[in-house]
Structure 1
C-alpha cells in the first residue's frame, strides 16, 4: 500500500507545480519533498514527474498515480462524512439546483457555513434531469427542483416557491397594449423561456396575455448564460420571463422592469432525495435554512 503522506505531498506538488510551494503548504523542507517523491517513485517502480527547472511535468504514470491519489483522498473524505452521520453541524453537503436558484440560496448557505465551520457546502448548478440522475447515482444528496420526479425511487417535499416575472426594458411605460409592445420587442430566448412564458401567461390574470399564444412572438435573441439573459432586455432589444430573483443579481437592474400583472406567478419548489437513503442530520439544518430563504 502506498504511503498516504507521500500521496498527499504528490497531490500538492502536482497542483502547485512547485517544490518550494509544496514545501510551504506541507510544512516541510524542499529536500523533504524531493525525498518523499523519490520514495513514491521507488514504490511505483517508475518516474512520475519530469523536472523542468523549478517546475515539473507529469509522466503518463504520474498522471495515473495522481488520479489514484485523488480517488483515495475522496474515499477518505466520504468515510469521515459517514462517521459524522449524525453530527448536525459537521460534514459535507452536496446540493444541486438551477442557476437562478443558486443565486438566490448561495448567500444563505455561506452564512450557515460561517456559523458552523465544520460544514462543507458543495452547490452544483444543473438542469432537472441531471439532478435526478445525480441523486440516483449518489453523487448528489439533495436536489431542489420545480419538477416532481415520477420514478418510485425518489422522495420529495415542498420547499418553497420560485416567483416568476415578465422582464421588460425600463423605458416601457404602462400596461396598455402590452401585446403590441411585446410584438415590437421580440422574445429573448433561453433554455426555460418557453416553459416560463406559457406558465406566466396562463396564470398572471392579465386577459390580454392569457388569451395570447406565446408562439406568436418573434425571437429577437437567444442566450443560455443566466447572468447575461437580462442584458439584451436592458438594452431595449427584447423581453423575457425569468425568476424574479435574477433581477437582484443583474448589474444594470435599473434598466429592467417587471411587468405589473394582476396576479403573482410562481412555481413550487421541491426538495428531492433518494427514497432508499437516509440523509445525515446536517441536512436537516441545511433544509431549515433553505426553507427560510425559499419562503421569504
Structure 2
C-alpha cells in the first residue's frame, strides 16, 4: 500500500510546481519533500518527475500517479462525510416529491439551508411511482407522495393534506359572448355554436369537461379519478378519465396552467399551484359539492434510521404541509 502522506506531498508538489512552495504549504523542509518524492518513486518503481531547477515536469507515470492520488483524496473525503449520520445540520439531503409539493416546501427548505450552510438540500421532482421505486430500491432516502403506499418495501408517515381543484379558464363566459357575436357564414356559425355550447357556463360541468378538453400532465389521470370520485358531483362520477378528450400535454408544472389560462382546456391540479403563477386571474376553480383532498405521506426505507439531518428536514416539511410532526 502506498503511503498516503507521500501521495499528499506529491499532489501539493504537482499543483505548486515548486519544491520550495510545497515545503511551505506542507510545513516541511525541502529535503523532506525530496525524500517523500524519492520514497514514492521507489514504491511505484518508476520516475515520476523531471527536475527543472526548482520546478518539475511530470512524466507519463507521474500524471497517472497524480490522478490516482486525487481520486484517493476525494474518496477519503466522501467516506468521512458519509459517517456524519448524527450531524443534524450537515451533509447532503435529497427529497423527492411532485412539482406541486416542491413549490410549497422549497422556500422553507432554502430558509433552513441559509441558517445552516453545511446542510445541502436537493429537491428531486418525480412522479409517485418513480419515488416509490427509488425508496424500494434504496436509491432514494426520503420522498413525499400522495396516499399511503401499500408496499412492504416502503415505510410511510402522514404529513398533511393537499387540496385538488378542477381548474377552468375564467373567461368562459367572455368566450361564449365573443363567439356568438362574431358569426358571419352559416358553416362557420354551426362550428361556433358547437363550441359555444361547450363553453356556456350555464351548461353542466360534465358537458364542459367532455367538450372543452383536458390539458394532460403526468399526474392528470390520477388526479382526475380522485376528483371525480370524491367531489360529490354525480355526473362527474360517471366519467372515465381515460376516455376524455385531450387537447394538450406538458410535463412542466409551471406551464400546465398556461393553456388553461388561454381558454384551450381544463386540468386538475393541487390548488396551491395557483399561488405560483402570475396569471391566476385568468383561472377559476370549479366549486364542487365536496372539497377534494389527498393525504400526503413521507416515505423511506423501512427498518433503517435516516441520518439526523433528514429528521430536521422532515420537521420543516411537516410544518408547511399542515400537520404536527412527531
TM-score, with structure 1 as normaliser: 0.73
**3-state SS of 1:229 partner:** helix
CA distance in 2, matches of 1:246, 1:45: 52
**3-state SS of 1:161 partner:** strand
Task: Report the equivalent of 1:153.
Answer: 153
1:77 maps onto 2:104 in alignment: no
CA distance in 2, matches of 1:262, 1:75: 60
Q: 2:298 aligns with which of 264, 271, 278?
A: 271
Task: Report the equivalent of 2:110.
Answer: 110
Task: Report the equivalent of 1:43.
Answer: 62
Contact kept? 1:165, 1:242, Cα under 8 Å: yes
Contact kept? 2:127, 2:218, Cα under 8 Å: no
Contact kept? 1:175, 1:259, Cα under 8 Å: no
TM-score, with structure 2 as normaliser: 0.67
CA distance in 1, matches of 2:76, 2:272: 37
**3-state SS of 1:220 partner:** strand
Task: Report the equivalent of 1:120.
Answer: 120
CA distance in 1, matches of 2:258, 2:214: 13
Mapping 1:244-255, distance limit 5 Å? 244-255=271-282
Contact kept? 2:99, 2:125, Cα under 8 Å: yes
CA distance in 1, matches of 2:64, 2:87: 42
Listed as ranges, the gaps of 5+ residues in structure 2 are: 15-53, 174-200
Q: 1:219 aligns with which of 240, 243, 246?
A: 246
CA distance in 1, matches of 2:92, 2:120: 4
**1:218-257: CA deviation from partner (whole Å, max 9, x where unpaired):** 1111222222211111110101111112222223222111
Q: 1:249 to 1:77 in 2, by over 3 A?
A: farther
Listed as ranges, the gaps of 5+ residues in structure 1 are: 11-34, 49-61
**3-state SS of 1:157 partner:** strand
Mapping 1:121-270, distance limit 5 Å? 121-172=121-172, 177-270=204-297
**What is the RMSD computed on CA atoms of the aligned residues?**
3.5
Task: Report the equivalent of 1:87.
Answer: 87
**1:143-176: CA deviation from partner (whole Å, max 9, x where unpaired):** 1111444332321111112211101001135575
Contact kept? 1:233, 1:239, Cα under 8 Å: yes
Task: Give the CA deviation at 1:137.
Answer: 4.2
Q: 1:186 to 1:163 in 2, by over 3 A?
A: same
Contact kept? 1:128, 1:147, Cα under 8 Å: no
**3-state SS of 2:89 partner:** coil
